């Protein structure tokens, strides 16, 4: 199953990014979500209850983030297991960009299901996945429309590199120049 689309979020890019990384916001917006816990900056654990194609089940899962480029993009891998419905796994790519005084959130999701969940067939899984995504974005957009806008944080200053960053390096250059000039003046 593959889903690719984009949504316009009525919020700034950095606020949209922060909300996507906030377990409380995700728990509020993700349909059937019972709990989301942030285990590390790149790992989340979640519990959710879903009915897909007549297969109702509770899932325990993990989401692992990678290729983090805040507030622009990230990749993620997810896995959900259920004793009754078996397994759902997948990956997603998320890209954020400024658009029309808000944020364009583009995403591509690829997922597979096994066990009784996999037996319902791809058309039913696509329809259920589409509804899940639609409900998530409706709740997320509603949430973000109520959050007051804030200015983006100042950019992180990169430390200067090269000769300009150290007075000792200029002193070394000056010493070499003095030695060369002194050598030519005294010995030539």
Alpha-carbon distance of 19 to 26, in angstroms, equals 8
Q: In terms of DSSP bridges, do strands 102-114 and 2-9 run parallel, antiparallel, or are they unpaired?
A: antiparallel
- Contacts with 71 (C-beta within 8 Å, 6 or more apart), sequence order: 13, 14, 16, 17, 18, 96, 152
Q: In terms of DSSP bridges, do strands 86-99 and 73-82 run parallel, antiparallel, or are they unpaired?
A: antiparallel
Alpha-carbon distance of 40 to 62, in angstroms, equals 12
The pLDDT assigned to 40 comes to: 96
The pLDDT assigned to 178 comes to: 66
pTM of the model: 0.79
- Contact status, residue 68 vs residue 86, Cβ threshold 8 Å: no
Within a domain: residue 23?
yes
The pLDDT assigned to 84 comes to: 79
Within a domain: residue 155?
no
Domain coverage including residue 8: 2-146
- Contact status, residue 77 vs residue 70, Cβ threshold 8 Å: no
The pLDDT assigned to 176 comes to: 65
- Contact status, residue 108 vs residue 4, Cβ threshold 8 Å: yes
Tens digits of pLDDT across the chain (188 residues)? 889 999 999 999 999 999 999 999 999 999 999 999 999 999 999 999 988 777 788 999 999 999 999 999 999 999 999 887 678 899 999 999 999 999 999 999 999 888 887 788 888 888 888 888 999 999 999 999 999 998 888 877 766 665 555 555 556 666 666 666 665 566 55
Within a domain: residue 152?
no
The pLDDT assigned to 104 comes to: 98
Within a domain: residue 122?
yes
Within a domain: residue 166?
no
- Contact status, residue 50 vs residue 78, Cβ threshold 8 Å: no
The pLDDT assigned to 169 comes to: 58
Instruction: Please give the radius of gyration of the chain, using alpha carbons only, rounded to the nearest integer.
Output: 26
- CATH for 136: 3.30.530.20
Within a domain: residue 81?
yes
Number of structural domains (the chain) is 1
Within a domain: residue 125?
yes
Phi, psi of 85 (to 5 degrees): -105, -5
Within a domain: residue 176?
no
The pLDDT assigned to 157 comes to: 73
CB atoms within 10 A of CB 16: 23
């Amino acid at each position: 199953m593959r889903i690719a689309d984009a949504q316009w979020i009525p919020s700034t890019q950095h606020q949209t990014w922060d909300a996507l990384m906030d377990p409380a916001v995700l728990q509020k917006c993700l349909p059937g979500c019972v709990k989301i816990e942030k285990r590390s900056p790149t790992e989340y654990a979640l519990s959710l209850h879903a009915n897909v194609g007549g297969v109702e089940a509770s899932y325990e899962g993990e989401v692992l983030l990678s290729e983090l480029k805040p507030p622009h993009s990230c990749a993620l891998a997810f896995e959900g297991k259920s004793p009754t419905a078996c397994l759902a796994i997948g990956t997603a790519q998320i890209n954020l960009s400024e658009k029309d005084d808000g944020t364009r959130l583009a995403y591509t999701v690829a997922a597979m299901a096994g066990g009784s969940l996999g037996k319902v067939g791809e058309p039913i899984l696509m329809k259920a996945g589409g509804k899940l995504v639609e409900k998530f974005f409706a709740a997320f957009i509603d949430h973000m429309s109520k959050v007051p806008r804030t200015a983006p944080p100042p950019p992180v200053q990169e430390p200067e590199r090269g000769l300009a960053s150290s007075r000792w390096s200029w002193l070394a250059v000056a010493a070499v120049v003095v030695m060369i000039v002194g050598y030519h003046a005294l010995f030539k």
